[in-house]
């Protein structure tokens, strides 16, 4: 695949005209990017980057290289379900084998122990999926079940209860503990001989919303519960939160954004009075043992792709990794049969783990290098009209269009790229309608990380559906917008009062990303 020609950034910035300084969260501990091998920027580079990130004078005009959202890593947009499964276009040839090996592990179907295959056993004993690909369908989004009896794959319930202690040095952390019997998430499947922990139950209520021009849009409001719990009732203070698997493209580029540049957009006290008060989630790294900026997950609960991947191996599939070495996944002490069930750890194998360090690194490399497709129709007049409306509605306050990544020693694909993810990776109060009332780190029960918008218009092509937001409740981009509340309420209301032609232009712009 060949992406459209992308000039090096040192040439690109000459065409671009500065990131307006915003207030950082001064009370936070130092949040360095220790997981990356960073080459510091020079003062001259920083000045040119500030120019490149300036808000456009006229949003109705396309910007240089806007059509390549992943910079030189952008891949050509293809019209098949494999559009999200391409590698970084600028990947050196000698790294392509690692991508393919990581892809094989990502698609690998695991089996429970004991099994005739020692290389693929160790699943569970409780689990939500048998392969990474089962949740991230074609490297895209998961979805909600269509019927009451459809297996709950690519969506699951997080569980917690209030309590515990906040980590030292992280102000604003809201302590929670895993549900004492069922752990941190509900597993809907189990190995032979064991009953699943329970079944996620969803009840939908249709809520009609009438827009200013008389158009009626039906929103579906979900109510979640646990049916048939195998170990008795859940704790009375259990906090339930659904999670649909997000799309995988561009993760390495998001990881390569300097933490300082993300924090520059934080304004927790809304000191500038614009109604937007993005906050950073800060979590203790499972790999490094220090506070780091959360970037991944619907509430930015993980700091790196590696930790996000290791958490999924453990929680979703019950597989041990160097970061989560328990062979039973997250089974609690109350789940004796699970902890005593056969597992796939082998003392004579590398690391003695079900997913050894090399395999985890390969999956991380694969996830880091899933490329963002080039934009479609970026010069279309309706799309450019929609871009103007996107800006006038205030959407870029959270869906920040562009960043420049770190210059990196050993990641040429992500190094020093102008990217267009349309996210600030910060937490925002999204209102009571979207609240799950379950804290995570510094995120309250009303806060969510701003979702990246790149690739959003290819969702149906890749996964066969259009489902958005953290639990897939929105069945279209318009429904997703109409669910916005809290800090995003003014922008939502602006869209609700638009004439039909303007709404169509806005949606056309979003679908072009």
Mapping DSSP onto H, E and C, the string for 224-283 reads EEEECCCCCCCCCCCEEEEEECCCCCCHHHHHCCCHHHHHCCCCCCCCCCCCCCCECCEE
Long-range contacts of 206-212 (CB under 8 A, 24+ apart): 209/482, 209/496, 211/496, 211/497, 211/498, 211/503, 212/496, 212/497, 212/498
Concatenating the DSSP letter of every residue in 334-381 gives: T-HHHHHS-----TTSGGGSSS-HHHHHHHHHHHHTBPPBPPSSTT-H
207 phi and psi, to 5 degrees?
Answer: -120, 105
Residue 274 lies in a domain: no
| Same domain for 383 and 241 | no
| Same domain for 197 and 146 | yes
Give the integer Cα–Cα distance in Å for 224 and 202: 5
| Same domain for 400 and 465 | yes
* Residue the block writes with tokens 């069930």: 341
| Same domain for 214 and 75 | no
What is the model's pLDDT at position 160? 98
Domain span holding position 137:
96-246+294-367
Contact (Cβ atoms closer than 8 angstroms) between residue 87 and residue 22: no
Residue 126 lies in a domain: yes
Positions in the chain short of pLDDT 70? 1-24, 26
Instruction: Sort residue 20 into left (φ over 0), alpha (ψ -120 to 50) or beta.
Output: beta
Domain boundary among 367, 384, 405: 367
What is the model's pLDDT at position 327? 95
| Same domain for 80 and 101 | no
- The structure's pTM equals 0.94
What is the model's pLDDT at position 346? 84
| Same domain for 215 and 162 | yes
Give the integer Cα–Cα distance in Å for 144 and 135: 11
Overall domain count for the chain: 2
Q: Which residues pair with 117 in a beta bridge?
A: none
């Amino acid at each position: 695949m060949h992406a459209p020609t992308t000039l090096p950034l040192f040439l690109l910035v000459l065409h671009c005209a500065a990131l307006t300084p915003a207030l950082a969260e001064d009370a936070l501990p130092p949040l360095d990017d220790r997981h990356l091998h960073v080459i510091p920027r020079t003062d001259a580079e920083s000045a040119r980057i500030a120019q490149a990130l300036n808000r456009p004078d006229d949003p109705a005009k396309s910007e240089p290289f806007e059509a390549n959202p992943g910079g030189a890593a952008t891949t050509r947009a293809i019209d098949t379900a494999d559009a999200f499964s391409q590698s970084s276009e600028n990947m050196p040839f000698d790294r392509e084998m690692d991508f393919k090996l990581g892809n094989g592990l990502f698609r690998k179907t695991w089996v429970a122990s004991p099994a005739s295959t020692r290389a693929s056993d160790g699943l569970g004993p409780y689990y939500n999926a048998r392969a990474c690909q089962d949740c991230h369908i074609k490297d895209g989004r998961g979805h909600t079940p269509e019927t009451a009896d459809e297996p709950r794959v690519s969506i699951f319930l997080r569980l917690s209860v209030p309590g515990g202690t906040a980590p030292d040095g992280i102000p604003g952390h809201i302590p929670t503990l895993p549900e004492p019997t069922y752990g941190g998430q509900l597993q809907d499947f189990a190995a032979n001989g064991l009953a699943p922990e329970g079944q996620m139950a969803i009840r939908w209520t249709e809520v009609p919303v009438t827009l200013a021009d008389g158009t009626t849009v039906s929103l579906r409001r979900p109510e979640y519960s646990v049916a048939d719990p195998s170990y008795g009732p859940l704790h009375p203070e259990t906090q339930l939160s659904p999670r649909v698997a997000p799309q995988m493209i561009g993760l390495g580029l998001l990881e390569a954004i300097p933490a300082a540049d993300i924090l520059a957009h934080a304004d927790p006290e809304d000191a500038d009075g614009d109604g937007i008060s993005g906050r950073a989630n800060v979590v203790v790294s499972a790999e490094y043992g220090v506070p780091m900026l959360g970037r991944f997950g619907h509430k930015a609960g993980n700091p790196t792709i590696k930790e996000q991947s290791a958490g999924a191996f453990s929680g979703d599939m019950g597989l041990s990794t160097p970061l989560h070495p328990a062979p039973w996944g997250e089974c609690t002490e109350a789940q004796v049969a699970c902890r005593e069930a056969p597992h796939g750890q082998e003392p004579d194998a590398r690391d003695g783990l079900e997913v050894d360090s090399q395999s985890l690194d390969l999956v991380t490399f694969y996830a880091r290098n899933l490329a963002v497709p080039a934009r479609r129709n970026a010069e279309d007049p309706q799309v450019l009209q929609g871009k103007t409306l996107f800006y006038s509605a205030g959407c870029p306050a959270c869906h920040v269009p562009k960043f420049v990544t770190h210059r990196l020693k050993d990641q040429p694909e992500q190094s020093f790229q102008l990217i267009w993810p349309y996210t600030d990776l910060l937490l925002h109060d999204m209102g009571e309608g979207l609240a799950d009332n379950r804290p995570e780190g510094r995120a309250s029960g009303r806060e969510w990380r701003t979702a990246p918008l790149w690739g959003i218009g290819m969702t149906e092509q890749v996964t066969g559906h259009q489902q958005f937001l953290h639990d897939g409740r929105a069945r279209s981009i318009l429904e997703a917008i109409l669910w916005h509340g809290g800090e995003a309420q003014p922008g939502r209301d602006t869209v609700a009062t638009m004439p039909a032609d303007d709404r169509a232009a806005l949606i056309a712009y979003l679908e072009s990303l």
